[in-house]
Amino acid sequence: MRAALAALALLAASPALALADARVERDGDSLIVRWTSARPVDVRTSTAPDAPARAATLVSPADGDGQHRIAAPAGQRLYVLLKERGTGQWLRVAERLLPLEAGSNFRDIGGYPAAGGRHVRWGLIYRSAGQPLLTAVDQAQIARLGLANLVDLRSAEERRLAPTRIQNIRYNAVGYSMAALMPAASATPIRNGAVLYRGFPTLLAPHLRLVFDRLLNDRGGLAYNCSAGQDRTGFVTAMILSALGVPRDAIMADYALSADLRRPEFEMPRIDPAVAASDPVARMFAGYQSPQAARPTPLVEADGTPFLAGAFAEIMEKYGSVDAYLAREAGLTPARRKALQAAYLE
């Protein structure tokens, strides 16, 4: 996981900046921020994701050794602003994964390089697996994120088996049956990855329309999830990041993180064998609850091609470009895409 996060840190730093390779990793009740710079860097922190340097707390002036440890108990979300002395160049970084007690794959998609040399804003868009087993501590941590909307990408059957425990925010879902996914999901994922993902541009178009509507029209952050937070959530993330002008290699690197950041034991409550006997969807998920089946695996075909490439291939064949697909199927016209970038890039 550390290697994957480091690779994403390289992607998150603009090539135009001397200040680069910035990342934040949790170590118990501390955060370790690391960076590369030829000059000393002022390290500042804030609890607000958009705080300007003057409003952030200076914790290490003229730091020249490329790393600093910051006290931050689990549940306290800090944003780190690095400002290079002499050039005034700055970069904002944060802990990508929320350290939940009983959550899986809940992470911020901020920080990636995007259109016009800008970066995706931190603290506004979160991707996640299902949240049926969150503890009270987890619920309190998520409440502090300032979310305005949760968009649930799961089928009606999944939502019935494992209702979310995120409370007191607007809940959004589009009804469909797991039968739309079962033919591909019932066989081995590697053999059916391309088939499954090629269906996402059609299956999830209504969800994308909903996601972009909430991003453009509601104040506050947004979270969205499926059961594992990797397949349907991975596709929706790819479309959001594409709309923001994030390079494809960064999108694919973020997608691959799920293999390291999932905690499957918290994605679905333990399914009663009696329920599984009479419910095909419950039976499928019960099959994933053995220790061996529940272990996350890399999201690639046998030849190493990411499953997500199948969705992009489907879009290119039918629409010619991601922008054309989003405009036609998700209502993200060029004007709305420009507004999205204005709101979610810094």
Beta strands in the chain (DSSP E): 20-27, 30-36, 41-46, 57-63, 67-71, 79-84, 90-94, 107-108, 125-128, 147-152, 170-173, 221-225
Q: What is the band of 183 on the pLDDT scale with cuts at 50, 70, 90?
A: low
Q: What angle do CA 326, 125, 202 make, to 5 degrees?
A: 30
Give the neighbor-by-neighbor strand order of the sheet with 125-128: 107-108, 125-128, 221-225, 147-152, 170-173
Report pLDDT digits (tens) over 65-91: 999 999 999 889 999 999 999 999 999
Amino acid identity, residue 162? A
Is there a single domain that holds both residue 152 and residue 225?
yes
pLDDT at 52 over 90: yes
Q: Say what the pLDDT of residue 219 is.
A: 86
Query: Within this chain, do residues 74 and 109 fall inside the same structural domain, yes or no?
Result: no
Q: Are residues 84 and 103 in the same domain?
A: no
Q: State the pLDDT confidence band at 187, using cuts at 50, 70 and 90.
A: very low
Residues 292 and 145 in one domain: yes
Q: Same domain, yes or no, for 77 and 103?
A: no
Residues 6+ apart with CB under 8 A from 316: none
Q: Is 104 found in the same domain as 73?
A: no
pLDDT for position 192:
63
Q: Are residues 87 and 136 in the same domain?
A: no
Is residue 123 within 8 A of residue 221, CB to CB? The reply is: yes
CATH number, residue 42: 2.60.40.10
> Has residue 184 got a pLDDT over 70?
no
Residues 199, 174 share a domain:
yes
Predicted pLDDT at 288: 86
* Mean pLDDT (whole number) for 316-334: 98
**Max avg pLDDT among 253-257, 274-278, 279-283, 293-297:** 253-257
- Band of residue 5 on the pLDDT scale cut at 50, 70, 90: low
Q: Residues 114, 206: one domain? A: yes
Q: Tell me, what CATH number does 161's domain have?
A: 3.90.190.10
Residue bearing the bigger pLDDT, 1 or 131: 131
Chain length of the chain: 346
Angle value at C-alpha 196, between 190 and 198, nearest 5 degrees: 120
* Domain of residue 141, residue span: 98-344
Provide mean pLDDT across the span 285-293: 83
pLDDT (mean) for 277-303: 87
Count of structural domains, the chain: 2
Last residue of a domain, one of 95, 114, 141: 95
Weakest-pLDDT range from 95-104, 136-145, 182-191, 226-235: 182-191
**Mean confidence (pLDDT) of the chain:** 91
Percentage of residues of the chain with pLDDT beyond 90: 81
Reported as a pLDDT band with limits 50, 70 and 90, residue 328 is very high
Which of 74, 95, 116 terminates a domain? The answer is: 95
**Lowest model confidence (mean pLDDT) among 178-187, 199-208, 306-315:** 178-187
| Residues 303 and 207 both lie in one domain | yes
Q: What is residue 222's three-state secondary structure?
A: strand
12 and 42 assigned to the same domain: yes
Residue 17 — pLDDT band, cuts 50, 70, 90?
Answer: very low
Give the residue from 168, 161, 175, 128 showing the smallest Cα distance to 144.
Answer: 168
Instruction: Answer with the residue of higher pLDDT: 276 or 318.
Output: 318
Which of residues 73, 95, 117 is at a domain's end?
A: 95
Domain shared by 139 and 3, yes or no = no
